[in-house]
């Protein structure tokens, strides 16, 4: 491995070569804090000679380089220069603006304009909104990197804009003096950026870059699992042509699928769960080492293809509408929704394997439903009601079953595994005493609203179990307190009593407004007139006091444990 290094400043760096951010690089990820710290260091602190670290590149042609390390800083510098350029142009200093733009875009040896910094990860915000001198023609994609670039662009625009505003707000200066001061300040900021010092390190071979990239980032700031996996895969899968880079396209599809969701999905977590659903159980910190060991040149394409095929299934586990379940399969998304409500992730590798098996037609959708309903019922009692936490045994159980389901291509064998799953869940269900003791602690009031979604889920499940009629639009329903919240603090009606599920029913928004703070008998009369089917314990009651609430809560706990959420 041949390595060459020399001192360099940003002015000479940008004027002496063209730089490409390769496909194995991580996306742009600087935060507001990073931007502010960079601004403070080079503008507010007024350094005469500021060193910003090293930049490692590999030769990619004559005066062309691929960036191995330093791409976050280099991208940030280009963004900042683009902002200064834009303000110079807007202030009427076109020659100065064009001078800066010559460091951002210049003609190559073929006399064709070319951006000095190009990237294979972000498009089109970096090219259209930052590098380009003029109005953009393309809107950015809904991806995290595009959002990060936009945030950096907007923050620098605000910081430089504040400097100009402060000059314009000085009423002691004439318009001409203000304009001259703006020119001087923008030139000053420009020169501070261009005079930044780096150590420029050049490698001869691109293959050496993959090794350096991994080494530099794993010995310093932790590199994300996704970045490391991307680097490892692209090291083994070279683009077959200049026009089509299939590995890059596939990786972008993974990022768009996972990070394009409105849910807080992370590619690192997806890769971890993907691994657990197929391979041995490992903590996330050990996954990349295992991938390096298992996935070589011959396995890289298959591994990448498996990631692509599973990323849609993974998103569908969390983003319920993404997989377009049919009306007949409606119980499947209901269970997936419930697991999201319970905020559990341990089951995800197993659920991923189950859905994969269903989509591959190894099992039928009814088999998938049976498995998911069992998992839902278990976590309602184990997680939602009794708030128990696994020491790791449950996570390993799910991963083990997910791995065995993945390895099964036979319906009969897979159904045996689903039966085993149900049995293992039954073994771990909390005792009725635990459920009975903690069920009254599920409370909802306007002030204690954290469990609102769980309460609606419980009441809806009871309505379905009792075959009570209810509006089709579950989300539009609201929670009615039989003893109104206005009674909290009167007699012994504490918030913990009034908010118990035994005092709650589901009604429409309009009906909730009519009932409001009315007495129990009046509420019951209105509900009956409206054709609302009341549960028997409410329908048979002549009054509704603390004992009624406690008794109904206790009876609901029994029915929940012995009937509705029984596996």
Nearest 5°: phi and psi at 199? -100, 120
- Gap between the Cα atoms of 564 and 567, Å rounded: 9
Which of these, 262, 395, 246, lies nearest to 322 by C-alpha position?
262
What secondary structure letter does DSSP report for 27? P
User: Does residue 446 lie in a domain region?
Assistant: yes
- Gap between the Cα atoms of 167 and 186, Å rounded: 11
Q: How many domains does the chain have?
A: 3
Supply the angle between the helices 365-379 and 348-359 in degrees, to the nearest 10.
170
pLDDT < 70 regions, the chain: 1, 24, 46-49, 120-122, 140-143, 209-210, 212-223, 241-243, 390-391, 468-474
Bridge partner list, 199: 7, 54
User: Does residue 548 lie in a domain region?
Assistant: yes
- Gap between the Cα atoms of 67 and 57, Å rounded: 4
Same domain, 345 and 446: no
Report whether 96 contacts 42 (CB < 8 A). no
User: Does residue 450 lie in a domain region?
Assistant: yes
Same domain, 424 and 460: no
- Gap between the Cα atoms of 22 and 74, Å rounded: 13
- Gap between the Cα atoms of 318 and 338, Å rounded: 10
User: Does residue 350 lie in a domain region?
Assistant: yes
Q: Which of 211, 237, 262 is the endpoint of a domain?
A: 211
Residues 6+ apart with CB under 8 A from 502: 440, 548, 549, 550, 551, 552, 553, 554, 555, 556
- Gap between the Cα atoms of 557 and 567, Å rounded: 15
Quick check: helix, strand or coil at residue 198?
strand
Neighbours of 479 (CB within 10 A): 20
- Give the H or E element holding residue 19: strand 18-21
Supply the angle between the helices 175-194 and 71-90 in degrees, to the nearest 10.
160
- Give the H or E element holding residue 145: helix 144-168
Same domain, 335 and 193: no
Bridge partner list, 507: 478
Same domain, 276 and 170: no
Q: Which of 433, 448, 463 is the endpoint of a domain?
A: 433
Same domain, 243 and 351: yes
**What is the secondary structure of 255-312 as a DSSP string?**
HHHHHTSSS---HHHHHHHHHHHHS----GGGHHHHHHHH--TTTHHHHHHHHHHHHH
- Gap between the Cα atoms of 534 and 528, Å rounded: 8
Quick: pLDDT tens for 151-198: 999 999 999 999 999 999 988 889 899 999 999 999 999 999 999 998
Same domain, 265 and 411: yes
Quick: pLDDT tens for 12-66: 999 999 999 887 677 888 999 999 988 988 887 766 667 888 888 988 888 899 8
CA 419 to chain centre: 33
Report whether 50 contacts 3 (CB < 8 A). no
First to last CA, the chain: 61
Same domain, 296 and 429: yes
Same domain, 370 and 440: no
User: Does residue 361 lie in a domain region?
Assistant: yes
User: Looking up tokens 């200049």, which residue turns up?
Assistant: 242
Quote the pTM value.
0.68
**pLDDT at res. 221:** 45
**pLDDT at res. 220:** 41
Q: Which of 185, 211, 237 is the endpoint of a domain?
A: 211
Bridge partner list, 54: 199
User: Does residue 217 lie in a domain region?
Assistant: no
Query: Token digits for 425?
Result: 């869940």
Same domain, 74 and 171: yes
Same domain, 117 and 240: no
Residues 6+ apart with CB under 8 A from 206: 22, 58, 60, 66
**pLDDT at res. 432:** 96
Paired sense of beta strands 105-107 and 504-507, if any = unpaired
Report whether 451 contacts 341 (CB < 8 A). no
CA 47 to chain centre: 38
Largest CA distance in the chain: 93
Query: Token digits for 165?
Result: 């505003």
**What is the secondary structure of 85-107 as a DSSP string?**
HHHHHHTT-HHHHHHHHHHHEEE
User: Does residue 427 lie in a domain region?
Assistant: yes
Paired sense of beta strands 478-481 and 117-119, if any = unpaired
Cis before 124 (ω within 30): yes
**pLDDT at res. 359:** 96
Same domain, 362 and 505: no
**What is the secondary structure of 382-415 as a DSSP string?**
IIIIT----SSHHHHHHHHHHHHHHT---HHHHH
| H helix and E strand count, the chain | 25, 10
User: Does residue 167 lie in a domain region?
Assistant: yes
Same domain, 530 and 409: no
Report whether 367 contacts 380 (CB < 8 A). no
**What is the secondary structure of 148-179 as a DSSP string?**
HHHHHHHHHHHHHHHHHHHHHT-TTS-HHHHH
Range of the domain at 152: 3-211
**pLDDT at res. 141:** 67
Nearest 5°: phi and psi at 506? -100, 130
């Amino acid at each position: 491995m041949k390595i060459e290094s020399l001192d360099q400043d940003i002015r000479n760096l940008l004027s002496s070569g063209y730089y490409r951010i390769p496909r194995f690089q991580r996306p742009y990820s600087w935060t507001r804090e990073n931007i502010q710290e960079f601004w403070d260091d080079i503008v507010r602190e007024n350094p005469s000679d500021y060193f910003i670290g090293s930049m490692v590149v590999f030769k990619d042609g004559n005066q062309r380089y691929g960036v191995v390390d330093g791409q976050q800083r280099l991208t940030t510098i280009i963004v900042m220069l683009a902002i200064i350029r834009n303000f110079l142009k807007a202030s009427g200093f076109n020659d100065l603006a064009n001078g800066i733009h010559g460091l951002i875009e210049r003609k190559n040896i073929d006399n064709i304009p070319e951006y000095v910094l190009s990237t294979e990860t972000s498009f089109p915000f970096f090219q259209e909104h930052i590098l380009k001198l003029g109005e953009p023609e393309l809107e950015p994609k809904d991806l995290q990197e595009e959002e990060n670039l936009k945030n950096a662009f907007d923050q620098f625009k605000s910081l430089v804009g504040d400097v100009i505003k402060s000059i314009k707000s000085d009423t002691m200066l004439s318009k001409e003096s203000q304009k001259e001061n703006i020119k001087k300040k923008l030139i000053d900021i420009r020169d501070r950026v261009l005079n930044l010092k780096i150590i420029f390190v050049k490698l001869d071979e691109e293959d050496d870059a993959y090794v350096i990239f991994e080494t530099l980032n794993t010995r310093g700031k932790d590199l994300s699992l996704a970045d490391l996996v991307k680097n490892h895969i692209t090291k083994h899968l070279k683009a077959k042509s200049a026009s089509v880079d299939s590995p890059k396209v596939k990786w972008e599809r993974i990022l768009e699928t996972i990070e394009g969701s409105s849910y807080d999905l992370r590619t690192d977590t997806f890769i971890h769960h993907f691994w657990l659903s197929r391979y041995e159980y490992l903590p996330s910190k050990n996954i990349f080492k295992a991938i390096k060991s298992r996935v070589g040149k011959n396995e890289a394409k298959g591994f990448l293809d498996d990631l692509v095929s599973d990323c849609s299934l993974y998103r569908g586990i969390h983003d319920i509408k993404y997989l377009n379940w049919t009306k007949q399969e409606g119980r499947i998304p209901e269970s997936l929704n419930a697991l999201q409500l319970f905020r559990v992730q341990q089951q995800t590798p197993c659920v991923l394997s189950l859905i994969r098996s269903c989509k591959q037609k190894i099992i039928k959708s009814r088999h998938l439903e049976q498995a998911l309903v069992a998992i839902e019922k278990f976590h309602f009692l184990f997680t939602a009601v009794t708030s128990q936490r696994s020491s790791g045994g449950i996570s390993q159980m799910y991963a083990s079953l997910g791995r065995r389901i993945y390895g099964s291509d036979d319906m009969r064998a897979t159904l045996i595994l689903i039966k085993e799953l149900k049995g293992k869940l039954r073994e771990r269900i909390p005792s009725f005493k635990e459920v009975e003791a903690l069920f009254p602690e599920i409370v909802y009031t306007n002030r204690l609203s954290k469990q609102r979604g769980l309460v609606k889920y419980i009441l809806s499940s009871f309505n379905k179990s009792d075959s009570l009629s209810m509006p089709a639009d579950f989300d539009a329903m609201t929670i009615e307190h039989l003893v109104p919240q206005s009674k909290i603090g009167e007699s012994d009606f504490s918030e913990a009593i009034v908010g118990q599920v035994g005092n709650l029913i589901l009604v429409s928004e309009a009906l909730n407004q009519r009932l409001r703070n009315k007495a129990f008998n009046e509420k019951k009369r209105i509900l009956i007139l409206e054709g609302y089917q009341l549960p028997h314990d409410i329908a048979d009651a002549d009054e509704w006091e603390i004992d009624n609430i406690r008794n109904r809560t206790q009876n609901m706990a029994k029915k929940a444990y012995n009937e509705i959420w029984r596996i």
